[in-house]
Structure 1
Amino acid sequence: MRFPILLTSVLSAVLLASSPSTAQAPAGGGKVFRYAYRVDPASLDPHALAETFTLSWLGQVYEPLVGRGKNLELVPALATKWEQPEPNVWRFHLRTGVKFADGSPFTADDVVFSLQRVKKDGSDMAYTVASVTEIKKVDDFTVDLVMAKPNPILPVQTTSTYIMSKAWAEKNGATAPASVKAKVENFASNNANGTGPFKIESRQAGVRTILVPNKEWWGEKETNVDQVVFTPIQADTTRVAALLSGEVDMIYPVPQQDAARIDGTGTYQVLKGAELRTMFLNMDQKRDELLNSDVKGKNPFKDRRVRQAIYQAIDVNAIRDRVMGGTSRVAGTMIAPGINGYDAKLDTRIPYDADAAKKLLADAGYPNGFSFGMDCSNDRYVNDERICQAIVGMLARVGLKVTLNAQTRTKFFEKVLARDTSFAMLGWQPLSYDAHSTLQDTMNTPVDKVGTYNVGNYSNHAIDKLTMEIETEIDPAKRSALIAEAMTLDKDDFGHIPVHQAGLAWGVKKGVSVVLRSDDSLELKWVKLD
């Protein structure tokens, strides 16, 4: 495949310092896997940011007690089995003979330390163990997690809660978690020492990271890769060019407009699937006066009619067809098919109707609309800025004057998690693949360690009560009914506005075998090269 001189020059300029081909090959030869994603991990501290890509990338180096298999089923990781000796206690039996990448042994002390660290201020992963009130070492390879009330889903809540070395963290001054949103860093922000199948050989943040197999890893070796070179490439065109020029063996995501071209080469192919992440809109419903608005002395978003007007002013089918190239799935509820608790009866939408939206705004006292700002990332989700631009244009048609602030994901998360926002688009994929996470983390009234990603501060105490009941209900039918009740309350209240689930698309060189999971996580331990 040949490229125009200009494109080749641009690619060379962008990748000159970071080109995977400049990475030193493994000693004695060996197989090298080179891949690119749109961004770099936000931090190497596994407790610094609850972002899917950062956590999935760190999952090559660090491990949880309970893991996920090729079909997202629960599998033993650092715990070989788990049980409930009492209704409010989960007991984890730890794997013996495990070593961290630095050669030090893994024991219960590391689990107790790590989970206590997760619960400290600054951690973005505290919600995964929010129900845990005590972490007890039973013996060197047994740990009890004690809860005030029974929590039947604790194991699935912790599949991205990674275990660190206590000795390593203490030695390097990293006993407290770093925080992306608070701009707090420590040694663990740029260094890693896990028990996972790979370890970091070298790293230039934002440029290139080289990983090599962890020879101390306890698991069965499936990959035949001797070295992995990861390069973050934000620009879609540059990322595609890197694949088609042979600079990398795999890229993701693939822009939908380039999928046919990649498939047509005969050398590369596009693997497609459905994402579990739901994109949704948040509206500030707490402040008495909306930020950066021409409405003074009150907050229009507190009025349900205004929230419904915004909902009906957005043509999600047009976003699917024109922005997403037909690859997204329109969402009528806050969870996707494949998430435990999904109810197809709730996955419906009130039709797009700009005239109805105008009438609702007029009835609410805003016949000429009003102004406000919108926060959006430009490098986190598939077509994120383009989606936000489309929404701004649609809202303008009903008189809502929206100023878009699109920025890199790090700055975006810092801003919205500080609640410095009026209107923002986020995506949420429950790490537990259970509706409870969506309720607890994006819909619950923000307090303590819950509601962290409910950046519009929507508050419905009936939903809060149901969320607590859902966490402790062990009867599947009753639990499903409680989830449906909570989701219905938010839906009827227009507490949040679901948009869609994006399609997954990975571009891979033929002869490279990877496992495409619906959580959009590339697991290096399953990569094989011909």
Structure 2
Amino acid sequence: MEIEMTFTSRLKAGLAAGALAAVLASAAGANTLRMADSTDIAAMDPHSMTESNTIGFLNHVYEGLVRYNQDLEVEPALATSWEFIEPTRIRFTLREGVTFHNGNAFTADDVVASLERAAHDSSPVKSNIPGMKAVEKIDDYTVDVVLAGPDPIVLNYLTNMLILDREWMEEHDALLPADMRSGRENYAVANSNGTGPFKLDSRQPDARTVLTVHEGWWDEPQHNLTRIEFSPIGSDATRIAALLSGELDFITPAPLQDIERIDRSEGASVILAPALRTIMLGMNQTDKLHNSNLTDRNPLQDRRVREALWRAIDMELIRKKIMRDRSRNAALLVAPPVPGYDEALDVLVPADPSAAKALLAEAGYADGFEVGLDCPNDRYVNDEEICQAITAMWSRIGVTAKLTAQTKSKHFEKLLAGSSDIYMMGWATLPMLDSYSVLSSLLHTPSDRMGAWNPGRYSNPEIDALTSKVAIELDPERRTAMMSEALKIARDDVAIIPLHQQPLAWAVRDGVDLPITADNKPRLWYAKIN
């Protein structure tokens, strides 16, 4: 990448980093926030992908009817209020006086066109608004969202459904979304027209994306930024060096192994928070493994074998040695802030190789077996190192895990094709921020609308029944209790092996003040440069 190569060459040439930083800071201006992430924004079209980093960045340009605030609570955005006038019809009163970045007025027509666009059969984000049956304009500032059935978390879904200008889409032939997975592009991929606090100034894929402040934003700005310069820098070392030299103001992620070094440096520090994302191991529970010496049966179908694998993993050792005391060990598939989480159930059984061996023997695998283990090497915090450690731990109980660690695109392609035996994945429950996300996507028996991320094809009728009830239960207490019950069943059945909630670490230079939230989405409309 151009910025990474340029910076690296400067380091090799021995230029004075302090002098360079001073020049760049002067050129950038006091209210310019220069930030870098490990990956680039996929596109400017908010309906073209479900990638969380991209959607998080686009929330600075586009807005939904509602949004999550700093406490991850739903609050008004382009809608000022809403009410269920029927169990399957929710009426939104829209905010008046809002303008898009090109000066067009925001009205109900934009909401109708945008939600229909997001829910279209060709839309990559249609699964993020699964319960919407129709959207109807009542008048210029009133819209009804009609649901296929009662949906207790429809507002959570709508936080991710960002609104575009209908006239702008019509003008540029972009009434249907792009699809970055299939290479189908349109004008909205490289251009934008939202109502958010910042507007697109320039876009150079894999190099730099620049936003400038939207002076006509409807909300009262709590930031003092005039410009945001975003650069993708894949190398951790290069990203950190740019921060410490003063070339950058904000980087994400801050690698765990470098936290102390950053904190000790002059002019920069790390901000930490527990993340929502739970890292876990899914298991192929079909009749046959893909990479094993056993060709006539699948030991992972036996709960005792799954429990043995779980008991053999020393998560305390992983937490201390690999995660540097920054992770939070988990016995459930959701993090504490997620509705449905029950602290009483989140009790991790200590690692016990002897008990694990006994369980294998009881299940008929005293001599162990071979199994494939698939992990990404560039998606989660220390993902490959964790899998290497687990491979060694399983070897002590006679299970030979044949590890394949590869880039996230290849990893998830293999995983979703159902070609993995055991596979690492992470789940943050977003945008739902609700245990129903795990129940419907990871644990439910795969079907037309459920189990999209259950390639191992785990199936439990009790969980399926509870998931169906949770989907339509409007009483919060009853709903939460059912989600907790389903998570307990999954834990006791070892449907998926939970590992930990990985830490969330950002790094900023001194004078940058911004909130960190567990969903790992920077909200720079709260940021200040002092």
TM over 0.5, shorter chain? yes
Q: Provide the C-alpha distance between the structure 1 equivalents of 2:409 and 2:267, rounded to a whole number of angstroms.
A: 35
**Residue correspondence of structure 1 range 256-335 to structure 2 within 5 A:** 256-286=256-286, 288-335=287-334
**Is 2:513 the counterpart of 1:510?**
no
Q: Is the 8 A contact 1:234 1:379 kept in 2?
A: no
**CA distance change for structure 1 residues 462 and 133 in 2, over 3 Å: closer, same or farther?**
farther
**Residue correspondence of structure 1 range 25-104 to structure 2 within 5 A:** 31-104=31-104
**CA distance change for structure 1 residues 247 and 357 in 2, over 3 Å: closer, same or farther?**
same
**Is 2:405 the counterpart of 1:388?**
no
* Structure 1: gaps (5+ residues): 1-6, 14-18
Deviation at 1:305? 2.2
Q: Is the 8 A contact 1:335 1:435 kept in 2?
A: yes
**Residue correspondence of structure 1 range 43-442 to structure 2 within 5 A:** 43-121=43-121, 123-182=123-182, 184-286=184-286, 288-430=287-429, 431-442=431-442
**CA distance change for structure 1 residues 307 and 148 in 2, over 3 Å: closer, same or farther?**
same
Q: Is the 8 A contact 1:20 1:231 kept in 2?
A: no
Q: Provide the C-alpha distance between the structure 1 equivalents of 2:312 and 2:179, rounded to a whole number of angstroms.
A: 37
Deviation at 1:330? 0.3
Specify the code of the residue in structure 2 equivalent to 1:397.
Answer: R
Secondary structure of the equivalent of 1:410? helix
Deviation at 1:184? 4.5
Q: Provide the C-alpha distance between the structure 1 equivalents of 2:264 and 2:451, rounded to a whole number of angstroms.
A: 45
Q: Provide the C-alpha distance between the structure 2 equivalents of 1:25 and 1:205, rounded to a whole number of angstroms.
A: 25
Number of residues of Structure 1 aligned to a counterpart in Structure 2? 518
Bigger drift between 517-526 and 401-410 goes to 401-410
**CA distance change for structure 1 residues 47 and 419 in 2, over 3 Å: closer, same or farther?**
farther
Bigger drift between 229-238 and 396-405 goes to 396-405
Q: Provide the C-alpha distance between the structure 2 equivalents of 1:389 and 1:184, rounded to a whole number of angstroms.
A: 38
Q: Provide the C-alpha distance between the structure 2 equivalents of 1:399 and 1:440, rounded to a whole number of angstroms.
A: 34
Deviation at 1:141? 2.0
**CA distance change for structure 1 residues 20 and 291 in 2, over 3 Å: closer, same or farther?**
farther
Q: Provide the C-alpha distance between the structure 2 equivalents of 1:240 and 1:64, rounded to a whole number of angstroms.
A: 33
**CA distance change for structure 1 residues 328 and 199 in 2, over 3 Å: closer, same or farther?**
same
TM-score (norm 2): 0.90
Q: Is the 8 A contact 2:24 2:247 kept in 1?
A: no
Q: Provide the C-alpha distance between the structure 1 equivalents of 2:252 and 2:71, rounded to a whole number of angstroms.
A: 19
Secondary structure of the equivalent of 1:498? strand
Q: Provide the C-alpha distance between the structure 1 equivalents of 2:256 and 2:97, rounded to a whole number of angstroms.
A: 46
Cα deviation code 1:175-216 (max 9, x no counterpart) = 444445555544434433322211222222222211111234
Bigger drift between 488-497 and 103-112 goes to 103-112
Cα deviation code 1:148-177 (max 9, x no counterpart) = 332232112321222233343444444444
Deviation at 1:256? 2.4
Q: Is the 8 A contact 2:31 2:227 kept in 1?
A: yes
Secondary structure of the equivalent of 1:277? strand
Secondary structure of the equivalent of 1:358? helix
**CA distance change for structure 1 residues 234 and 480 in 2, over 3 Å: closer, same or farther?**
same
Deviation at 1:294? 2.9
Deviation at 1:314? 1.5
Secondary structure of the equivalent of 1:502? strand
**Identical positions, percent:** 45
Bigger drift between 54-63 and 159-168 goes to 159-168
**CA distance change for structure 1 residues 212 and 411 in 2, over 3 Å: closer, same or farther?**
farther
Specify the code of the residue in structure 2 equivalent to 1:303.
Answer: D
Cα deviation code 1:234-291 (max 9, x no counterpart) = 22222221111111011122222322222222421221211111111111223x3222
Specify the code of the residue in structure 1 equivalent to 2:308.
Answer: A
Q: Provide the C-alpha distance between the structure 2 equivalents of 1:308 and 1:260, rounded to a whole number of angstroms.
A: 36
Secondary structure of the equivalent of 1:415? helix
Bigger drift between 499-508 and 454-463 goes to 454-463
* Structure 2: gaps (5+ residues): 1-6, 14-19
Q: Is the 8 A contact 2:22 2:246 kept in 1?
A: no
**CA distance change for structure 1 residues 329 and 480 in 2, over 3 Å: closer, same or farther?**
same
Q: Provide the C-alpha distance between the structure 2 equivalents of 1:219 and 1:26, rounded to a whole number of angstroms.
A: 29
**CA distance change for structure 1 residues 451 and 419 in 2, over 3 Å: closer, same or farther?**
same
Q: Provide the C-alpha distance between the structure 2 equivalents of 1:507 and 1:81, rounded to a whole number of angstroms.
A: 36
Cα deviation code 1:37-85 (max 9, x no counterpart) = 2212234332333333222112112211111222222221111111111
Cα deviation code 1:375-428 (max 9, x no counterpart) = 322222222222222222222333333333333333433333343433221111
Q: Is the 8 A contact 2:30 2:529 kept in 1?
A: no
Q: Provide the C-alpha distance between the structure 2 equivalents of 1:510 and 1:521, rounded to a whole number of angstroms.
A: 20
Specify the code of the residue in structure 2 equivalent to 1:311.
Answer: W
Bigger drift between 217-226 and 294-303 goes to 294-303
**CA distance change for structure 1 residues 285 and 148 in 2, over 3 Å: closer, same or farther?**
same
Q: Provide the C-alpha distance between the structure 2 equivalents of 1:128 and 1:363, rounded to a whole number of angstroms.
A: 43
Q: Provide the C-alpha distance between the structure 1 equivalents of 2:70 and 2:313, rounded to a whole number of angstroms.
A: 36
Q: Is the 8 A contact 1:181 1:413 kept in 2?
A: no
Secondary structure of the equivalent of 2:276? coil
Deviation at 1:8? 6.3
Secondary structure of the equivalent of 2:289? coil
**What's the counterpart of residue 451 of structure 1?**
451
**CA distance change for structure 1 residues 369 and 119 in 2, over 3 Å: closer, same or farther?**
farther
Deviation at 1:333? 0.3
Q: Provide the C-alpha distance between the structure 1 equivalents of 2:104 and 2:413, rounded to a whole number of angstroms.
A: 35
**CA distance change for structure 1 residues 176 and 405 in 2, over 3 Å: closer, same or farther?**
farther
Cα deviation code 1:112-142 (max 9, x no counterpart) = 2222232234544333321222222222222
